[in-house]
């Protein structure tokens, strides 16, 4: 399994690029944000709990997120590989993922980080909020809080994967085609 973490701050374009990589390499795409939104839509206990954090732009607690992620991984252990999108977002999530994949006889091959300046991201998210129906995209304070969560809890993971020689930064500004080509160049060499 060629598993990768697709990484970057909110609005950087992980979801669209993950869908393209999934198609091209026949991978599984696990987006923790999508799984939470599916649960919110269906009013499950997990969804009701997660909504109270997500709507404020806060991270959902580690235990809840990690349990959910393990369930998703277990469903896909016979695949070509998994694209992790939106996970890990804390150091504990990252170490837990490494340990869990090791138990299953596999590992993360790379963290590929999409890089886009923050002012462009806020604009993109507010624009997405006009059509996406996501309350966390419709209020600049919530968006700022998500960036704060990213800076204080998530950005440290760059060093975590760099220390394992698994970090690859990719310019996330340009056309979808250009950015996808940059991502594929990294993936093909793993």
The site for ligand ADP (CB under 6 A) is made up of 10-11, 32-33, 36, 53-54, 57-60, 65, 86-87, 89, 93, 136, 146
CA pair distance 78, 19, nearest whole angstrom: 19
Provide the 10 A C-beta neighbour count for residue 69: 21
Handedness of CA 86, 16, 117, 173 (dihedral sign): positive
H helices present in the chain, as ranges: 14-25, 32-41, 45-54, 62-74, 91-103, 118-132, 140-149, 157-162, 176-188
Nearer to ligand ADP, 101 or 136 (CB): 136
Shortest approach of ligand ADP to residue 150 CB, angstroms? Answer: 8
Q: Shortest Cβ distance from residue 76 to ligand ADP (Å)?
A: 17
Cβ proximity to ligand ADP: between 60 and 188 the closer is 60
Indicate the residue whose CB is closest to ligand ADP. 33
Q: How far is the CB of 91 from ligand ADP (least distance, A)?
A: 12
What does the alpha-carbon distance between residue 67 and residue 44 come to, in Å, rounded to a whole number? Answer: 15
Question: What is the smallest separation between the CB atom of 129 and ligand ADP, expressed in angstroms?
Answer: 10
Nearer to ligand ADP, 2 or 56 (CB): 56
Between residues 7 and 168, which has the closer beta carbon with respect to ligand ADP? 7
Q: Which helix (H) or strand (E) holds 115?
A: strand 108-115
| Tokens 């997500």 belong to residue | 54
CA distances from 81 to 5, 19, 109, 183 (A): 11, 13, 10, 15
- Nearest distance from residue 163's CB to ligand ADP, in Å? 20
- Comparison of 4 and 60: residue with beta carbon closer to ligand ADP: 60
């Amino acid at each position: 399994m060629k598993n990768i973490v697709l990484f970057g701050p909110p609005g950087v374009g992980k979801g669209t690029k993950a869908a393209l990589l999934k198609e091209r390499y026949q991978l599984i795409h696990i987006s923790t944000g999508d799984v939470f939104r599916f649960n919110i839509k269906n009013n499950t206990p997990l969804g009701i709990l997660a909504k109270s954090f997500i709507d404020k732009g806060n991270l959902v607690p580690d235990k809840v997120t990690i349990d959910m992620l393990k369930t998703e991984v277990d469903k896909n252990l016979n695949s070509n590989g998994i694209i992790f999108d939106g996970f890990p977002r804390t150091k504990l999530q990252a170490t837990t993922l490494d340990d869990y994949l090791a138990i299953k006889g596999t590992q993360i091959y790379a963290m590929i980080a999409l890089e886009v300046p923050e002012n462009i991201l806020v604009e993109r998210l507010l624009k997405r909020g006009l059509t996406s129906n996501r309350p966390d995209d419709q209020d600049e304070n919530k968006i700022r809080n998500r960036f704060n969560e990213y800076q204080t809890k998530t950005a440290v993971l760059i060093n975590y994967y760099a220390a394992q020689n698994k970090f690859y930064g990719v310019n996330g500004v340009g056309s979808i085609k250009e950015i996808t080509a940059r991502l594929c160049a990294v993936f093909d060499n793993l």
